[in-house]
Chain A
């Protein structure tokens, strides 16, 4: 149980284009989803927290107009990287919480974004 999927697993796009990454909780309803970014040989850095039906809360330094997050249902959150540039190339990982009282987050497999 508690499986989180991401699509696509990898994507290559040209500079200036937008890319959408999906995060789905397959067998549970996620009250909250989180988006992380991980550069090579570095740790996971939280980008934003997303609650179903409300606006995402972004971490300091993360541009909300560049990284659009939509959490339209209890099983799906999307991250859209708008006007992507090579410096946006990274590993994007989502996680989901099962319920309000739960501490544990379940992580997706990640999406490798390469901007050329």
Chain B
């Protein structure tokens, strides 16, 4: 359904700290999950993905954790930098090609 929130949840972290962004997904049959970063006025940028047969995947400075029992996804960013400031969306894919996006979290990094 439509996202009704007009105020994105915001996570404020100090530069150099680790960030954890959480996402609850809706469809227990979803088999693929992606995290996107969106800067103001731009399209989403792929960060990392994970398939449902995994519970953890690591990239460069990022880690995605998947807990299928509680339908929860998290994105961990190590040593957060000012350039990481953006809105982060999780997305899930079910039995079609369609991606369903979460509501998003704004990450603010302060010096």
Chain A residues proximal to chain B, CB less than 8 Å: 4, 6, 32, 34, 41-46, 49, 91, 93, 95, 97, 103-110, 112
Contacts and interface: CB of A to CB of B under 8 A. Distances in A.
Given A32-B97, A103-B93, A104-B49, A45 B44 contact: no
12 contacts: A4-B43, A6-B43, A41-B7, A42-B103, A43-B89, A43-B104, A46-B99, A46-B100, A104-B46, A107-B43, A107-B45, A107-B46
A38 B64 CA distance: 25
Nearest to B34: A104
A43 B6 contact: no
Contacts, number: 58
B45 A49 contact: no
Interface of B: 2-3, 5-8, 32, 34, 36, 41-46, 49, 89, 93, 97-104
A93 B43 contact: yes
A95 B41 CA distance: 16
Nearest to B46: A104
B5 A105 contact: no
Given A44-B44, A45-B101, A46-B98, 20 more contacts: A6-B43, A34-B99, A41-B5, A41-B7, A41-B8, A42-B104, A43-B102, A45-B2, A45-B3, A49-B98, A93-B43, A103-B49, A103-B93, A105-B99, A107-B36, A107-B43, A107-B44, A107-B46, A109-B42, A110-B43
